[in-house]
Amino acid sequence: MPKPLIGLLTPQDIYEKEYKTLLETQCDVIYGKSVNRYPDYKYTTEELLDYFGNCDGIIVGGRDRVPKDFIENAPKLKVITKSSIGVEKIDIKTASENTILVTNAPIPHNFISVAEGTITLMLSVLKRVFELDQMTRNGQWRNYDILPNLLYTKKIGIIGFGRIGKAVVERLKGWGVELYVYDPYVPDQVIKDAGVINLALEDLLKTCDVISIHVVLTHETHHLLNKDRLNRMKADSIIVNTSRGGVIDEESLLECLKSKRIAAAGLDVFENEPAVASNPLFGLDNVVVTPHCISLTSENLRHLTLTAIDECTNAIHGNTPKYIVNSEIIERWKKRISIY
Catalytic residue among 273, 302, 317, 336: 273
| Calpha distance 189→54 (Å, rounded) | 48
What is the pLDDT at residue 36?
87
222 touches 196 (CB < 8 A):
no
Helix (H, G, I), strand (E, B), or coil: what is residue 248? strand
- Residue 228 confidence (pLDDT): 97
Q: Is residue 273 among the annotated active site residues?
A: yes
pLDDT score for 340: 55
292 is catalytic: yes
Amino acid at 10: T
Tell me phi and psi for residue 177, to 5 degrees.
-115, 165
**DSSP bridge pairs for 158:** 181, 212
Residue 231 and residue 205 in contact, taking contact as beta carbons nearer than 8 Å:
no
Which pLDDT score, from 0 to 100, does residue 339 have?
57
Residues with Cβ within 8 Å of 278's Cβ and at least 6 positions away in sequence, in order, are: none
Pairing of strands 5-8, 178-182: unpaired
Instruction: Using the CB atoms, write b or e for 295-309: b if 16+ within 10 Å.
Output: bbbeebbbbbbbbbb
pTM higher than 0.85, yes or no? no
Residue 124 is given by DSSP the state: H
Per annotation, catalytic residue among 128, 229, 292, 303: 292
Q: How far apart are CA 280 and CA 182, in angstroms?
A: 29
Q: What is residue 182's three-state secondary structure?
A: strand
Report the interhelical angle of 108-126 vs 298-316 (nearest 10°): 150
CA distance 93 to 312: 19
Domain with CATH 3.40.50.720 in the chain: 5-104+297-338, 108-289
Topology (CATH) of 108-289 = Rossmann fold (3.40.50)
Exactly one of 244, 250, 303, 311 is catalytic; which is it?
Answer: 244
Q: Distance between CA 186 and CA 181 in Å, rounded?
A: 10
Among residues 22, 33, 61, 106, the alpha carbon closest in space to that of 303 is found at 106
At 133, which amino acid appears? D
Per-residue pLDDT tens digits of the chain, which is 340 residues long: 688 999 999 998 888 888 888 877 778 999 999 988 988 889 999 999 999 999 999 999 988 999 999 999 999 999 999 998 889 899 999 999 999 999 999 999 989 999 999 999 999 999 999 999 999 999 999 988 899 999 999 999 999 999 999 999 999 999 999 999 999 999 999 999 999 999 999 999 999 999 999 998 999 999 999 999 999 999 999 999 999 999 999 999 999 999 999 999 999 999 999 899 999 999 999 999 999 998 888 898 889 999 999 999 999 999 999 999 999 999 999 999 875 5
Q: Is the CATH number of domain 5-104+297-338 3.40.50.720?
A: yes
User: Does the active-site annotation cover 244?
Assistant: yes
